[in-house]
Structure 1
Amino acid sequence: MKMDGWPLSWQTTGAEQMKGVSGLAIILVLALAGGITAAQWPEYQTMQVLRQDGVVLFPQALPVSDFAFVDENGAPFVKQDLQGKNVLMFFGYTWCPDICPTTLMDLSRTWKRLPEAVKQQWAVVLVSIDPARDRPENLAPYMHYFNPDFKALTGNPDALQTLAAELNAIYHRVERDDGAYLMDHSANLALLSKDGDYLGYIEPPHNASRMVALIKALSQ
């Protein structure tokens, strides 16, 4: 999808998939996320069914290191600022012509269909993989174009890379013949718990109907 007014870059690639876990693990992991029981949502009784829907949840939540970035308003932003919220975290950049705007548009459509009580439990965060170009003055209008409730983070390239590695996000710079560069990157949504732990990830496509069902299931 091309967005008028935003530059072109590069089609993204899917992240490396991880193996599924036992059916019993879904109850444990959803509990960590403040989620549901199988009786509340029968079609997601087994990890196999969930995996078929592109959702990978780990047998145990994984710790995420503390971080210190700046947000789209130029304000300091640390991991603790997300405490108390389930988080959908996406790694991308403002020059992305397809996957990033498509994902953010899908999440914006999802957001509009969620009850207010559910939205209060969640945060959507874009983490920049191109901090040289993704400065707050660029990130703010970009994010507001999709949804003013969504956050964007940028900062030290090494710190951003550390967080990406912990959340299985893959990206690298691709040089072009004209001297410009592109960013090739994965497209999964990382799922973080209200305690800031890494629960798993959601593979694309992130269409609104699917995401609304998943978010409601993972909400208290």
Structure 2
Amino acid sequence: MASLISTKTNHFRYASRFLFSHLLRHSTPTSSLLSPSFAHHLSSHHPHQVGNQGYGIGSLMLYQRLLSSTSNQEKKVLDNSSKDDSGQGKKSGGEQEQKSDAGKSVRGSPVSWLSLVFLVLTGAGLVFYYDKQKKRHIEEIQSASVSVKQGPSAGKAAIGGPFELTNHHGKRVTEKDFMGKWTLLYFGFTHCPDICPEELVKLAAAVDKIKEKGGIETVPVFISVDPERDTVEQVAEYVKEFHPKLIGLTGSSDEIKNVARAYRVYYMKTTEEDSDYLVDHSIVIYLMAPDMGFVKFFGKNNDVDSLADGVIKEIKQYKK
């Protein structure tokens, strides 16, 4: 920029010297140089004088152009320098803003830590609450299961009741004849091809094992659900094949119906073909207490050992 100003100054000096030398040579009034309107006045009233001074006026116009171009160039240089200065200022300002922002983020970090601590405390509280609720729920389930196992308020199952039937010796008996003894009852029929024989064999073996392992006497009883074919003689021949203590009971259709209803036993005759039919019935062994009250039933899934162990366990708990 300094070199440009020096160059323009030299041009100004050369132009000034040339102009003054020309004015002195032609004696041109200074007022005509400074006022274009006055030059027009001279040209209209003194054409000869203006014609002689045309060269001087042209020189003056050249000088004015030179001055204007110099001032414009200087103005551009100043504008560019101011732009550079403003750009640098903006840049430095941006850097300062970034630094200040960075400073804010650094200075603002305790707020973020505070938020993090709040979040951790909230999560810990939720976990603690969930764990507490879970433990309480587990305790409720455990207490409920214990109460169900103990079941003192559940009451006694409505199984059993008075009955009157005929034993395999032809004697009329009732439930009172079995009081004072632990009784195992099984409902079936003598013409059963497989299920009844299997269950009676299991029952007979369990009776002996209960006596051997627990020292407990039990009375096995077979009650027919086929009164039409299971006569006293038929039942007598049937029960002696399984155990000498096994007692067989039969009766009329109404008597069998009543005892089956009392012990919640299902039975139904299937399709008949020339008096050869089967009876569909429940496959259950009932354990009855010495007062002929119901204690527990055992299904077909129990083998000899589980049946014997189950009976011994129930009798011991009942005595306690």
Partner of residue 136 from structure 1, selected from 232, 244, 250:
232
1:195-206 mapped onto 2 (5 Å cutoff): 195-206=291-302
Measured at CA, do residues 119 and 141 of structure 1 come closer, stay the same or move farther in structure 2, by a change above 3 Å? farther
How does the TM-score come out when normalised to structure 1? Answer: 0.69
Task: State the distance in 1 between where 2:308 and 2:161 align.
Answer: 28
Unaligned runs of 5+ residues in structure 2 are 1-146
Matching residue of 1:88? 184
The residue number in structure 1 matching 2:271 is 175
- Give the secondary-structure state (helix, strand or coil) at the position aligned to 1:81: helix
Question: 2:287 touches 2:311 (CA, 8 Å); kept in 1?
Answer: no
3-state SS of the aligned residue for 1:95? coil
Map 1:44-123 onto structure 2 (within 5 A): 59-62=155-158, 64-115=160-211, 118-120=215-217, 122-123=218-219
Secondary structure class of the residue paired with 2:307: helix
Partner of 1:153: helix, strand, or coil? strand
1:213 aligns with 2:309: yes
Q: Is the 8 A contact 1:118 1:216 kept in 2?
A: no
**1:215–1:134 CA distance, 2 compared to 1 (3 A):** same
CA contact (8 A) 1:63 1:196 kept: no
In structure 2, C-alpha distance between the alignment counterparts of 1:62 and 1:84, rounded to whole Å = 20
SS of the aligned residue for 1:111 comes to helix
Residue 53 of structure 1 corresponds to none
| TM superposition score normalised by structure 2 | 0.49
Which segment drifts farther, 143-152 or 173-182?
173-182
Percent pairwise identity: 26
- C-alpha distance after superposition, 1:148-176 (max 9, x if no partner): 10111101211211211221210001123
Distance 1:132 1:177 in 2: 15
| Residue 22, structure 1, aligned to residue 148, structure 2 | yes
Deviation of residue 109 (structure 1)? 1.6
Displacement of 1:178: 4.4
Whether 1:145 and 2:241 are equivalent positions in the alignment is yes
Q: Which has the larger radius of gyration?
A: 2
User: Structure 1 residues 179 and 84, CA, compared in 2 at 3 Å: closer, same or farther?
Assistant: closer
SS in structure 2 at match of 1:163: helix
Show the 5 A alignment for 1:33-48.
Answer: none
DSSP-derived class of the 1:87 partner = strand
1: distance between equivalents of 2:204 and 2:302?
11
Which letter does structure 2 place at the counterpart of 1:103? Answer: E
Work out the CA distance in 2 between the residues paired with 1:193 and 1:81: 13
Q: Does the C-alpha gap of structure 1 residues 63 and 181 become closer, same or farther in structure 2, counting only changes over 3 Å?
A: closer
Are residues 139 and 206 of structure 1, via their aligned partners in 2, closer, same or farther at CA, if it must alter by over 3 Å? farther
Q: Residue 278 of structure 2: SS of its match in structure 1? A: strand
Residue 134 of structure 1 and its aligned partner are, at CA, apart by: 1.0
Q: Between Structure 1 and Structure 2, which shows a larger proportion of helix residues?
A: 2
Question: 2: CA distance between counterparts of 1:83 and 1:179?
Answer: 37
Contact 2:204 2:220 in 1 (8 A): no
Report how far residue 79 of structure 1 moved. 0.8
Structure-2 change in CA distance of 1:179 and 1:61 (3 Å): closer
Structure with more of its chain in strand, by fraction:
1
Query: Residues of 1 paired with 2:298 and 2:281: CA distance?
Result: 15
> Aligned partners of 1:104 and 1:147: how far apart in 2?
9
Superposed displacement of residue 186, structure 1:
1.2
> 1:63 and 1:167, CA in 2 relative to 1: closer, same or farther beyond 3 A?
closer
**Comparing both chains, which one has the higher relative contact order based on Cα–Cα distances under 8 Å and sequence gaps of 6 or more?**
1
Number of residue pairs aligned between Structure 1 and Structure 2? 169
Indicate if the aligned counterparts of 1:93 and 1:134 stay in contact, CA closer than 8 A. yes
